[in-house]
Structures are given as structure tokens and as C-alpha cells.
Structure 1
């Protein structure tokens, strides 16, 4: 059995009809886009709790609804990395209260919050990382919206 050495929680984050992403700019590299999210920490109660924490750290945001929709695995030197991909709706955002440590480190480059139309065409035009995530989103925009728009029934 392979050890899982790194877990991440990421959001395909919708705000109305727009996809919320972070545009990364670093000296000497072409700009690229990433979804909101990051590593699961030891004190996160669940992977979804890690997602909520990351959304707050990176956007000062709160989620209205999140559903696990995809997993991306990567082979790492000492095991496997698993990215848990959630479809989520943004309830609120206040960039003035975001707390991520990356924002106080200019050497890490720029982190610009951007909204792009949530269409296959718009996603394919971006240099969205990782490419596996870009492919999944572009192939499943209707399904992702359907998952988020389906009412949750209590058992």
C-alpha cells in the first residue's frame, strides 16, 4: 500500500455564473491560475473543514455549499498526493480579512483574485493548474452546476 503523504482541498468555486480563481504571477514565469485551496493540516477536523479554512485564508470568504466531485492523484517521491476537489458556491468574500501567510511574502509573487465566466471555453483559455483540474472543469461545467443546484435532502 502506498502512503498518502500530502492531501489538499481545492474548490471549483462559483460566485453566481463566474468561476473564482487566483491568478498567480511570479518573476520569470508566465502567469497561471489556480483554484482556491491548499494543504490539509493536522488540526483540520475533516478535509472539507480544511477547504473552509483555506477559503477564509485566501479570500476572507465563506462557502454556502460544497460537494466533493473529483480526486486528483500525483505520485510524489515518498508516496502519493491527493487533491480533493469540491464544487462550491461562495456565500461571501472580504479580501481585507484574508489571513494566508503567502500575502505577506512578496517573493512568492502576486495573488490576484479573478472571476472568469464558468464555461468550458473560458476555462480552456486559461493556464489553469494543474492541467488535470482544467480538463475536469472544462468537461463537466454543466454537471458541476447541477450538483450545486440540486437541493440537499435531509435523511
Structure 2
């Protein structure tokens, strides 16, 4: 439903959460695959035809990958790039974690050992800790580093839920 065609090429849309935990940390997913260095990604994934919009896709992905519910606060940025011959458009959103129950995670990635491990990890929201991990998407690190004061200020506000 949300895939677009530009210049006759299919654009695969994805959604990602810059998921603030509310305690001065950010929740990322550490990916561990055989014969590869670990790397960290923002939770999220592909938009499906049943998703009514990008926010619905993000909410679904957060629940699938983390058993998480989050409040979407703002659009962060959109990254357009190509991967494995596919044109991707990734929409990153700033979100505040509301609930987390890892026992509710589900999806094919958790049943296929060849896909490696998906390890939720809270990382302190400062440049020293963030700079010490291998972000798969360097643009994500760059955006967080540039907006770190804004992200910290959100975490200092009392939760409204």
C-alpha cells in the first residue's frame, strides 16, 4: 500500500524508532551474526500492505521486535539508499518507550538461526557510549550526535501516559 514507484523503480519503505527509554538511555537492537562483527540498529522494519500508514507500521514493528509500545514524538529524518539492488526509503522517528515485554516478541527472524541474534540493548545516551558501538547506519549515529541535547531534554520531561 505504501510502496511508491519513482522513475519506474519500486521504493521499499521502512520505519525505524529512535527509541528513548526515559532514563537517559536509548533502546537499540544488537545484531550478532556468525563470522561478522556485531552491529547495532534502530528497531523497525518494512512497511506491509496491511499497514494503514507509516506510524501503524512502526507500532507493529516495535511490538514484533521488542514487545514494545511507544509514543511517537516526532519525525527525525528520512534516509534514501540502495541495498542489494533494492531502493529503500527509511523513515526514522523519535519515540518514547511506554511499555516493554520481551516475552511478546514474535516473527520469522526469531525462528531462523541463520539470521543471527537480535539482542535488545539499552545504551546510555551520550557520545562516549554511542561512539563505542558499531552503528549499521552511520547516518543514524550522525543524527543522534547532532540532536543529542534535544533527545536528552525529552527524557527529562515527566512521562504523560
Taking structure 2 as the reference length, what is the TM-score of the superposition? 0.84
- Displacement after TM superposition at 1:144 (Å): 3.2
Deviations 1:63-113 (A, max 9, x none): 133321111110357663111000000100111111122011111111111
Unaligned runs of 5+ in 1: none
Tell me if structure 2 keeps the 8 A contact 1:121–1:138. no
Q: Which whole-Å deviations, capped at 9, do the CAs of 1:95-154 have from their partners, x for residues lacking one?
A: 111112201111111111110101122212110111111111122111234567789xxx
Identify if the C-alpha distance between structure 1 residues 77 and 62 changes in structure 2 by more than 3 Å, giving closer, same or farther.
closer
Matched position secondary structure for 1:44 = coil
Distance 1:145 1:116 in 2: 13
Shift of 1:5: 1.6
Q: Which moved more, 1:15-24 or 1:63-72?
A: 63-72
Question: What residue number does 1:122 align with?
Answer: 129
Q: How does 1:1-155 map to 2 (within 5 A)?
A: 1-2=6-7, 3-16=9-22, 17-75=24-82, 80-146=87-153
8 Å contact kept, 2:28–2:120: yes
The verdict on how the C-alpha distance between 1:88 and 1:107 changes in structure 2, with shifts beyond 3 A counting, is: same
State the TM-score, normalized to the length of structure 1. 0.87
- Kept in 2, the 8 Å contact 1:67–1:148? The answer is no
Query: Does the 8 Å CA contact 2:21/2:155 hold for their aligned counterparts?
Result: no
Q: Retained in 2: the 8 A contact 1:87–1:148?
A: no
C-alpha contact 1:4 1:80 (8 A) present in aligned 2: yes
The alignment of Structure 1 onto Structure 2 pairs a total of residues equal to 151
Secondary structure, counterpart of 1:41 in structure 2? coil
